[in-house]
Structure 1
Amino acid sequence: MSGRTIIIGDIHGCHAEFTALLNRVQPRSDDRVVLLGDLINRGPDSCRVLDIAREVQATILLGNHELRLLEHRRTGGKTKLKETDAATLTQLRPTDWDLLESLPLTLHLPELNVVCVHGGFLPGQPWQSQPAEVVTRIQVIDRAGLPHKRATCPDGVLWADLWSGPPFVVYGHTPRPDIYKLKWSAGIDTSCVAGGHLTAYVLPERRFVQVQAARRYYG
């Protein structure tokens, strides 16, 4: 592929910021836009974000928010639903559900030695075979080597701190005020929906581009 790869972190319904970031990076016809999942929930308009993603022909990865709604739709169970899920469930259109059902877990860019994923990977295991429950939800690793969210394992070690590559991993899911760039990974969920920034990582030039959130929508 001759163009750029433009990887964008968690959007969470923030369509205005998504549009502003695309205006900053100006995708061309030979560029590839990659969205790291969690396009929906929490922010002002999940459906508009999905529409913009279609307009730019983005490659979209499965995030834990998409996975949770898909699991609810398949099983009818409500135990895992979060407070902002109900509104999104009523808004999503049949074409949106079809899109969500089609989302891959990872995108391998061998020409760049990069893998894109929503949450991350367990180090020491082949990344290609790790299940959705892990790669969309992992944030930290406990002493037994098991994956957790930060909230359920506050003394856990960030998975990225233990990831020694290759490949280089670009991921979202773990919101932080700043980009978390290490030798073998870059975490680009910079809390747009909570009033932070929406971040893009542009390859092959390895350049970060950000826009400030218009306001705090959640949290």
Structure 2
Amino acid sequence: MSGRLIAVGDIHGCHKEFEDLLEKLDLKKDDRLILLGDLISRGPDSGKVVALAREHATASLLGNHELRHLNYRRTDDPTHLKKYDYATMEQLRGKDWDYLESMKLTYSDEELGVVFVHGGFLPDRPWQRQPARIVTRIQVVGKDGEPHKRSEMPDAPHWSTLWEGPPFVVYGHTPREEVSRTKWTLGIDTACAMGGCLTAYILPEKKLVQVKARETYYRR
């Protein structure tokens, strides 16, 4: 019998909550832990989160926050960064950057019929071929069929409501007070850095495990 497949939503530098969640999960050696991106920024210590990820995660997926930092490192162009990113940069060491560089866009398990991704997918094209700019950032889909932020198009449908699997998609990126379900998707970014929860989803038993944020680290 193989172990559990566990996805964890956006951690955003909340290392204590991540430690609390790891304690609750009580990982065994056959378990696979997949972190859904945005390990860094906003919370108190991105470096500690990446260190825990290196120790415990089977895979960490690329989020839009990692992508932004990597783009800055590659180009020296400060327009990639937000104000709070400078604190994050100071917390990351050489091997942390190597870890960010190694992040994949997706992680799939054919047997369970599930794909993990940070942001999501455009519903009208093959998920395997969608680039980082889409899968790390997508929230809503505009009338133009292209991905947009919720803030730009508040009335446009969220991509997850348009997604008709298979596969079943588990994603982060869109922070909500509660887990968001459709027939073919599950969104588990429950806004830990904003004072919400850090959420794990466990397969095959389809169980949710959460820890409450110890405080609010970031306000929009």
Q: TM-score, normalised by structure 2?
A: 0.98
- Amino acid in structure 1 at the alignment position of 2:52: I
2:193 corresponds to 1:189? no
Partner of 1:18: 18
Query: Identity over the aligned pairs, expressed in percent?
Result: 59
Deviation at 1:49? 0.5
Deviates more, 1:50-59 or 1:207-216: 50-59
Q: TM-score, normalised by structure 1?
A: 0.98
Partner of 2:34: 34
> Equivalent residues in 2 for 1:144-163 (5 A)?
144-163=144-163
Distance 1:193 1:208 in 2: 19
Contact persistence 1:142–1:155 (CA under 8 A): no
Contact persistence 2:13–2:43 (CA under 8 A): yes
Q: What CA deviation, in whole Å up to 9, does each residue of 1:118-160 have, x standing for no partner?
A: 0000001000000000000000001111101111221211000
Deviation at 1:22? 1.0
- Amino acid in structure 2 at the alignment position of 1:205: E
> Equivalent residues in 2 for 1:37-186 (5 A)?
37-186=37-186
Distance 1:56 1:74 in 2: 28
Contact persistence 2:45–2:91 (CA under 8 A): no
Deviates more, 1:73-82 or 1:8-17: 73-82
CA shift in 2, pair 1:152/1:31, >3 Å? same
Q: What CA deviation, in whole Å up to 9, does each residue of 1:83-106 have, x standing for no partner?
A: 211111122111111111111000
The structure 1 segments of at least 4 consecutive aligned residues displaced by more than 4 Å after TM superposition are none
CA shift in 2, pair 1:4/1:128, >3 Å? same
Deviation at 1:58? 3.2
Distance 2:153 2:80 in 1: 18
Structure 2: give runs of 5+ residues left out of the alignment. Answer: none
Contact persistence 1:37–1:60 (CA under 8 A): yes
Per the alignment, in what secondary structure is the counterpart of residue 193 of structure 1?
A: helix
Contact persistence 1:194–1:218 (CA under 8 A): yes
Partner of 2:209: 209
Distance 2:18 2:57 in 1: 14
Distance 1:81 1:159 in 2: 26
Per the alignment, in what secondary structure is the counterpart of residue 79 of structure 1?
A: helix
Contact persistence 2:63–2:119 (CA under 8 A): yes
Distance 1:124 1:81 in 2: 31
Distance 1:39 1:110 in 2: 25
Per the alignment, in what secondary structure is the counterpart of residue 210 of structure 2?
A: strand
Distance 1:52 1:80 in 2: 26
Deviation at 1:57? 3.6
CA-atom RMSD in angstroms:
0.9
Aligned length in residues: 219
Per the alignment, in what secondary structure is the counterpart of residue 6 of structure 2?
A: strand
Deviation at 1:80? 2.5
